[in-house]
Amino acid sequence: MDPIIRIDHVSFSYGEASARALDDVTLSVSPGDFLGIIGPSGAGKTTLASAMSGAIPHHYTGPFFGNVLVDGKDTCAVTLTDISQIVGSVLQDIDTQMVASVVEDEMLFGLENFGVPHSQIEERVIDALETVGIADLRDRTITSLSGGQKQKVAIASILALNPRVLVLDEPTAELDPASSVTVFDLLSRYAREHGTTVVVVEQKIALLSQYADMLVVVDEGRIRFADAPAQVLEHSDELKAIGVNCPRSTTLMNRLR
Protein backbone atom coordinates (compact mmCIF):
# COMPACT_ATOMS: atom_id res chain seq x y z
CA MET A 1 0.00 0.00 0.00
CA ASP A 2 1.29 3.49 -0.86
CA PRO A 3 2.12 5.63 2.17
CA ILE A 4 -0.44 8.31 3.02
CA ILE A 5 2.44 10.54 4.16
CA ARG A 6 5.92 10.37 2.68
CA ILE A 7 8.67 12.61 3.94
CA ASP A 8 11.75 12.42 1.81
CA HIS A 9 15.04 13.97 3.01
CA VAL A 10 13.33 17.03 4.44
CA SER A 11 15.30 19.83 6.06
CA PHE A 12 13.70 23.06 7.25
CA SER A 13 14.76 26.21 9.10
CA TYR A 14 12.51 28.99 10.42
CA GLY A 15 14.29 31.69 8.37
CA GLU A 16 17.71 32.01 6.77
CA ALA A 17 19.57 32.70 10.01
CA SER A 18 18.01 29.88 12.08
CA ALA A 19 19.46 26.45 12.74
CA ARG A 20 17.76 23.49 11.11
CA ALA A 21 14.56 22.57 12.96
CA LEU A 22 14.34 19.47 10.74
CA ASP A 23 17.54 17.96 9.43
CA ASP A 24 17.33 15.37 6.65
CA VAL A 25 14.17 13.66 7.86
CA THR A 26 12.86 10.66 5.94
CA LEU A 27 9.71 8.87 7.09
CA SER A 28 6.72 7.01 5.66
CA VAL A 29 3.33 6.63 7.31
CA SER A 30 0.97 3.91 6.07
CA PRO A 31 -2.79 4.52 5.81
CA GLY A 32 -4.52 3.63 9.09
CA ASP A 33 -1.33 3.77 11.17
CA PHE A 34 -1.23 5.37 14.60
CA LEU A 35 2.09 7.22 14.74
CA GLY A 36 3.50 8.75 17.91
CA ILE A 37 6.15 11.47 17.83
CA ILE A 38 8.24 11.96 20.96
CA GLY A 39 11.43 13.73 21.88
CA PRO A 40 12.75 16.39 24.23
CA SER A 41 11.53 19.97 24.18
CA GLY A 42 12.79 21.87 21.13
CA ALA A 43 13.62 18.62 19.29
CA GLY A 44 11.48 19.42 16.23
CA LYS A 45 8.29 17.45 17.02
CA THR A 46 5.90 20.32 16.29
CA THR A 47 7.93 21.23 13.22
CA LEU A 48 7.62 17.65 11.93
CA ALA A 49 3.85 17.71 12.58
CA SER A 50 3.63 21.08 10.79
CA ALA A 51 5.42 19.63 7.77
CA MET A 52 2.76 16.90 7.65
CA SER A 53 -0.17 19.30 8.00
CA GLY A 54 1.16 21.72 5.37
CA ALA A 55 1.63 24.57 7.89
CA ILE A 56 5.21 24.21 6.68
CA PRO A 57 5.81 25.56 4.03
CA HIS A 58 2.50 27.45 3.68
CA HIS A 59 2.31 29.20 7.03
CA TYR A 60 5.90 29.08 8.25
CA THR A 61 8.39 29.92 5.56
CA GLY A 62 12.12 29.36 5.45
CA PRO A 63 14.70 27.25 3.62
CA PHE A 64 12.98 23.96 2.82
CA PHE A 65 14.67 21.00 1.15
CA GLY A 66 13.26 17.61 0.16
CA ASN A 67 9.63 16.63 -0.35
CA VAL A 68 6.56 15.94 1.72
CA LEU A 69 3.87 13.99 -0.10
CA VAL A 70 0.40 13.73 1.44
CA ASP A 71 -1.75 11.20 -0.36
CA GLY A 72 0.73 11.53 -3.24
CA LYS A 73 0.45 15.33 -3.40
CA ASP A 74 3.58 17.41 -2.94
CA THR A 75 2.70 19.86 -0.13
CA CYS A 76 4.84 22.56 -1.80
CA ALA A 77 2.91 22.24 -5.05
CA VAL A 78 -0.66 22.38 -3.68
CA THR A 79 -2.47 24.90 -1.48
CA LEU A 80 -3.03 24.61 2.27
CA THR A 81 -6.76 24.29 1.50
CA ASP A 82 -6.02 21.26 -0.69
CA ILE A 83 -3.95 19.68 2.08
CA SER A 84 -6.58 20.38 4.74
CA GLN A 85 -9.07 18.33 2.74
CA ILE A 86 -6.90 15.33 3.64
CA VAL A 87 -5.16 16.32 6.88
CA GLY A 88 -7.01 17.72 9.88
CA SER A 89 -4.79 19.18 12.55
CA VAL A 90 -5.25 20.15 16.16
CA LEU A 91 -2.60 22.67 17.15
CA GLN A 92 -0.79 22.86 20.45
CA ASP A 93 -2.03 26.41 21.01
CA ILE A 94 -5.77 25.74 20.96
CA ASP A 95 -6.70 29.41 21.41
CA THR A 96 -5.18 30.38 18.07
CA GLN A 97 -7.16 27.59 16.40
CA MET A 98 -10.59 28.61 17.71
CA VAL A 99 -12.44 31.10 15.52
CA ALA A 100 -15.96 31.19 16.98
CA SER A 101 -17.27 32.16 20.40
CA VAL A 102 -19.70 29.24 20.91
CA VAL A 103 -18.83 25.53 20.58
CA GLU A 104 -21.55 24.77 18.01
CA ASP A 105 -20.48 27.72 15.83
CA GLU A 106 -16.87 26.54 15.99
CA MET A 107 -17.95 23.20 14.53
CA LEU A 108 -20.28 24.75 11.94
CA PHE A 109 -17.52 27.08 10.76
CA GLY A 110 -15.34 24.17 9.64
CA LEU A 111 -18.20 22.16 8.14
CA GLU A 112 -19.54 25.11 6.13
CA ASN A 113 -16.06 26.10 5.00
CA PHE A 114 -15.54 22.57 3.73
CA GLY A 115 -18.81 22.77 1.77
CA VAL A 116 -20.39 19.86 3.64
CA PRO A 117 -24.03 19.59 2.44
CA HIS A 118 -26.49 21.17 4.90
CA SER A 119 -28.43 17.91 5.15
CA GLN A 120 -25.37 16.23 6.72
CA ILE A 121 -24.25 18.98 9.07
CA GLU A 122 -26.48 18.28 12.09
CA GLU A 123 -25.60 14.58 12.08
CA ARG A 124 -21.88 15.33 11.81
CA VAL A 125 -22.00 17.79 14.72
CA ILE A 126 -23.89 15.33 16.95
CA ASP A 127 -21.63 12.41 16.02
CA ALA A 128 -18.40 14.32 16.63
CA LEU A 129 -19.57 15.77 19.97
CA GLU A 130 -20.70 12.32 21.12
CA THR A 131 -17.49 10.65 19.95
CA VAL A 132 -15.49 13.05 22.11
CA GLY A 133 -18.02 12.88 24.96
CA ILE A 134 -18.87 16.59 25.05
CA ALA A 135 -22.47 16.72 23.76
CA ASP A 136 -23.30 18.81 26.86
CA LEU A 137 -20.87 21.56 25.79
CA ARG A 138 -22.58 22.32 22.48
CA ASP A 139 -24.10 25.67 23.54
CA ARG A 140 -21.28 26.82 25.79
CA THR A 141 -19.13 29.84 25.06
CA ILE A 142 -15.56 28.83 24.40
CA THR A 143 -14.12 31.34 26.87
CA SER A 144 -16.07 29.59 29.67
CA LEU A 145 -14.35 26.23 29.00
CA SER A 146 -11.34 24.74 30.75
CA GLY A 147 -8.16 24.03 28.77
CA GLY A 148 -9.05 20.33 28.59
CA GLN A 149 -12.59 21.05 27.38
CA LYS A 150 -11.19 23.36 24.68
CA GLN A 151 -8.87 20.60 23.53
CA LYS A 152 -11.85 18.27 23.21
CA VAL A 153 -13.81 20.90 21.25
CA ALA A 154 -10.86 21.32 18.88
CA ILE A 155 -10.71 17.53 18.41
CA ALA A 156 -14.49 17.28 17.83
CA SER A 157 -14.36 20.14 15.28
CA ILE A 158 -11.71 18.29 13.30
CA LEU A 159 -13.38 14.86 13.58
CA ALA A 160 -16.58 16.39 12.16
CA LEU A 161 -14.66 17.08 8.94
CA ASN A 162 -13.81 13.39 8.66
CA PRO A 163 -10.17 13.84 7.57
CA ARG A 164 -8.15 10.87 6.32
CA VAL A 165 -5.21 11.96 8.45
CA LEU A 166 -5.40 13.50 11.91
CA VAL A 167 -2.36 15.37 13.21
CA LEU A 168 -2.59 16.30 16.89
CA ASP A 169 0.08 18.28 18.72
CA GLU A 170 0.03 17.38 22.42
CA PRO A 171 -3.74 16.84 22.58
CA THR A 172 -3.59 15.84 26.24
CA ALA A 173 -1.33 18.64 27.51
CA GLU A 174 -4.16 20.20 29.51
CA LEU A 175 -5.69 16.91 30.68
CA ASP A 176 -5.28 14.86 33.84
CA PRO A 177 -4.06 11.24 33.41
CA ALA A 178 -7.57 9.70 33.37
CA SER A 179 -8.86 12.16 30.74
CA SER A 180 -5.68 11.64 28.69
CA VAL A 181 -6.44 7.91 28.53
CA THR A 182 -10.03 8.72 27.51
CA VAL A 183 -8.80 10.90 24.63
CA PHE A 184 -6.34 8.25 23.42
CA ASP A 185 -9.05 5.59 23.68
CA LEU A 186 -11.48 7.61 21.62
CA LEU A 187 -8.85 8.54 19.02
CA SER A 188 -7.77 4.96 18.51
CA ARG A 189 -11.37 3.67 18.39
CA TYR A 190 -12.34 6.41 15.94
CA ALA A 191 -9.28 5.70 13.78
CA ARG A 192 -10.00 1.96 13.68
CA GLU A 193 -13.64 2.49 12.75
CA HIS A 194 -12.91 5.08 10.06
CA GLY A 195 -9.54 3.83 8.78
CA THR A 196 -8.06 7.20 9.76
CA THR A 197 -4.32 7.71 10.03
CA VAL A 198 -3.38 9.37 13.33
CA VAL A 199 -0.19 11.28 14.09
CA VAL A 200 0.20 12.43 17.70
CA VAL A 201 2.95 14.53 19.23
CA GLU A 202 3.00 13.58 22.89
CA GLN A 203 5.28 13.94 25.91
CA LYS A 204 3.86 10.94 27.76
CA ILE A 205 5.80 8.06 26.25
CA ALA A 206 4.14 5.36 28.39
CA LEU A 207 0.70 6.44 27.21
CA LEU A 208 1.78 6.81 23.60
CA SER A 209 3.43 3.37 23.60
CA GLN A 210 0.12 1.72 24.45
CA TYR A 211 -1.64 3.11 21.39
CA ALA A 212 0.94 3.79 18.68
CA ASP A 213 1.84 1.31 15.94
CA MET A 214 5.05 3.24 15.43
CA LEU A 215 7.04 5.63 17.59
CA VAL A 216 9.26 8.26 16.05
CA VAL A 217 11.87 9.72 18.37
CA VAL A 218 13.08 13.15 17.29
CA ASP A 219 16.15 14.91 18.65
CA GLU A 220 17.87 18.03 17.29
CA GLY A 221 15.73 17.90 14.17
CA ARG A 222 16.71 14.34 13.29
CA ILE A 223 14.94 11.03 13.65
CA ARG A 224 16.79 8.88 16.18
CA PHE A 225 14.43 5.91 16.16
CA ALA A 226 11.35 4.98 14.12
CA ASP A 227 10.00 1.59 15.08
CA ALA A 228 7.32 -0.29 17.00
CA PRO A 229 7.08 0.99 20.60
CA ALA A 230 8.53 -2.19 22.14
CA GLN A 231 11.62 -1.93 19.92
CA VAL A 232 12.07 1.78 20.62
CA LEU A 233 11.71 1.27 24.38
CA GLU A 234 14.58 -1.20 24.31
CA HIS A 235 16.86 1.81 23.80
CA SER A 236 15.98 3.29 27.19
CA ASP A 237 19.54 4.41 27.94
CA GLU A 238 19.88 6.30 24.64
CA LEU A 239 16.40 7.75 25.15
CA LYS A 240 17.31 8.91 28.61
CA ALA A 241 20.50 10.49 27.28
CA ILE A 242 18.49 12.72 24.94
CA GLY A 243 15.93 13.53 27.64
CA VAL A 244 13.13 11.04 26.99
CA ASN A 245 12.33 9.15 30.15
CA CYS A 246 11.00 5.65 29.62
CA PRO A 247 8.44 3.99 31.85
CA ARG A 248 10.11 2.62 34.96
CA SER A 249 9.20 -0.98 34.24
CA THR A 250 10.82 -0.84 30.80
CA THR A 251 13.98 0.74 32.15
CA LEU A 252 14.10 -1.99 34.75
CA MET A 253 13.39 -4.71 32.20
CA ASN A 254 16.24 -3.54 29.98
CA ARG A 255 18.61 -3.34 32.94
CA LEU A 256 17.74 -6.88 33.96
CA ARG A 257 18.40 -8.09 30.43
Q: How far is the CB of 55 from ligand ADP (least distance, A)?
A: 10
Cα distances (Å, whole numbers) of residue 228 to 135, 189, 196, 255: 35, 19, 19, 20
**Peptide bond preceding 57 in cis form (omega within 30 of 0):** yes
Q: Residue from 33, 34, 46, 142 that binds ligand ADP (CB under 6 A)?
A: 46
Q: Does 47 bind ligand ADP (CB under 6 A)?
A: yes
C-beta of 88 vs 221, nearer to ligand ADP: 221
Q: Does 43 bind ligand ADP (CB under 6 A)?
A: yes
Q: Does 21 bind ligand ADP (CB under 6 A)?
A: yes
Residues 72, 193, 114, 199, CA torsion sign: negative
Q: Does 243 bind ligand ADP (CB under 6 A)?
A: no
Residue 162 buriedness (CB in 10 A; 0-12 / 13-18 / 19+): middle
Strands (E), 110-220: 165-169, 197-201, 214-219
Q: Does 190 bind ligand ADP (CB under 6 A)?
A: no
C-beta of 63 vs 72, nearer to ligand ADP: 63
Q: Residue from 39, 54, 163, 171 that binds ligand ADP (CB under 6 A)?
A: 39
C-beta of 19 vs 77, nearer to ligand ADP: 19
Residues 6+ apart with CB under 8 A from 34: 187, 188, 191, 197, 198, 200, 211, 212, 213, 214
Q: How far is the CB of 128 from ligand ADP (least distance, A)?
A: 27
Residues near ligand ADP (CB under 6 A) are 14, 18, 21, 39, 41-47, 60
